[in-house]
Amino acid sequence: MDFEYKIYLKRAQNELNLSMMIQKISDDKKIQIEIFRMKEDTYYSATISHAYYAIFYSAKAYLLLKGIKTRAPEEHKKTFEEFSKLVDKGTVDIELLKIYQNMMMKADTLLHIFEIEKSKRGKFTYQRIPQANQEPGKESIKNAQTFFNNIYRLCEEKEQKTK
């Protein structure tokens, strides 16, 4: 099980890194034109999506370390519900749950992950200009960093206790 949770943490770190790279590419037109030889465009929706996956895989890692596995169908929903239970028990800070919940709503808006959340489509669906997602993209990265760093710390603490 140790090995498996570390794979999820690594995947979370990769998703976070990719989110930051996509944000940088979206912000810097010179990179797009000179390095990638492509026309100017933005990819803020992908930034938000990968930031969400950083949070999702971080949560899965911590749950696995606690002996809780979530699987399809509805793996995202189950993961969120199990993570919520840890908050209810006081094992995890409620602020992390708020970050997770906020990112789920954003991801749902962009990816249609949960049927229940479809009524919350909000501003991302209706803002057709890609730049409209720049600030939410930056916020998503910041939230994913906070979430990942806290979960990483919790995993290290849990692992130290088991040694």
- Averaged over 73-90, what is the pLDDT? 94
Lowest mean pLDDT among 80-84, 122-126, 139-143: 122-126
- Asked whether the predicted pLDDT for residue 109 surpasses 80, the reply is no
The residue with greater pLDDT, 110 or 1, is: 110
The residue with greater pLDDT, 109 or 88, is: 88
3-state helix/strand/coil string of 69-137: CCCCCCHHHHHHHHHHHHHHCCCCCHHHHHHHHHHHHHHHHHHCCCHHHHHHCHHHHHCCCHHHHHHHH
Q: Specify the pLDDT at position 112.
A: 47
Q: Specify the pLDDT at position 130.
A: 56
Q: Specify the pLDDT at position 161.
A: 83
Q: Which domains occur in the chain, in start order?
A: 2-162 (1.20.120.330)
Answer for the pair 23, 137: CB distance below 8 angstroms, yes or no. yes
